[in-house]
Amino acid sequence: MASREHLEKMQVRQNYRNLWHTSLTNTIQADTPYCCLSLFCAPCVSYLLRKRALYNDMSRYVCCAGYMPCSGRCGESRCPEFCLATEVVLCFGNSVASTRFLLQDEFNIQTTQCDNCIIGFMFCLQQVACIFSIVAMIVGSEEISQASQLLSCLAEMVYCTVCACMQTQHKVEMDKRDGKFGPQPVMAIPPIQQMSRIDQQVPPSVGYPSQPAYAYPPPQAQGYPPAQYPPPGYPPSGYSR
């Protein structure tokens, strides 16, 4: 039942329409110091980002943000800070991914194709390095063993780099959420002229409003006696055409 719910969440996440404020390829340029900090102090950064994603309210903390089977079963309510520290140290990859899913579900953010390719390349490289290590253990070849070690080092480098970029991406997104880029533009109701249809044949009037056309005689003004036509005593006596 739980796996089915997670599958439905993943399918819903594919229909999100918002985008990250910065892509994985631009995170180093967006915030270079924080990206370096995420590379060398990854667990500490993951701890701070999860806490910030929860609006610094640790009473809302659930292990792996509720996306793993162990969520809610680790005594988080009694000691959330210790549980989060344990999560970021022992399950660092899951902690980064859980913070990512948490932000995506909150702001309806989709993962772009470029980001998917980078993350997929990271996972594939790890799998290839694991396969080479197993083959090297079975065959006992020195060349294969060296190749597996090189692939393992390369996979670790790519993994650490991608995780640092992902955490920087999360930090930039929360900077946007918290208004550190300045106030976001507020959508206001446009004037009537802009709300009119494009295919409207007659443009809206500009200037003074048009006056209604009255038939002769003009209508009676309020507060005055009714007008008589012709008025009494007109034409004067002795007048001839």
pTM of full prediction above 0.75: no
Mean pLDDT over residues 6-28, rounded?
Answer: 81
Mean pLDDT, the chain, whole residue set: 78
**206 assigned to some structural domain:** no
**191 assigned to some structural domain:** no
Confidence at residue 154, expressed as pLDDT on a 0 to 100 scale:
92
175 vs 169: CA distance, rounded Å: 10
Residue-number span of the structural domain to which 108 is assigned: 2-177
**144 assigned to some structural domain:** yes
Mean pLDDT over residues 214-230, rounded?
Answer: 52
**229 assigned to some structural domain:** no
List the structure tokens of 170: 């999360």
144 vs 131: CA distance, rounded Å: 11
Q: How confident is the model at residue 147 (pLDDT cuts 50, 70, 90)?
A: confident
Top-confidence residue, 23 or 221: 23
Domain count, the chain: 1
Does residue 216 surpass a pLDDT of 60? no
Neighbours of 138 (CB within 10 A): 9
Mean pLDDT over residues 97-123, rounded?
Answer: 89
124 vs 118: CA distance, rounded Å: 10
Confidence at residue 217, expressed as pLDDT on a 0 to 100 scale:
53
List the structure tokens of 132: 């080479």
**154 assigned to some structural domain:** yes
Locus of tokens 């900090």: 37
**Residue 178: DSSP 8-state:** T
**233 assigned to some structural domain:** no
**Residue-wise pLDDT tens digits, 155-193:** 999 999 999 999 999 999 999 998 887 665 543 433 433
**16 assigned to some structural domain:** yes
Q: How confident is the model at residue 145 (pLDDT cuts 50, 70, 90)?
A: confident
**38 assigned to some structural domain:** yes
119 vs 171: CA distance, rounded Å: 18
Alpha-helical runs (H) found in 57-184? 80-90, 92-107, 113-139, 142-177
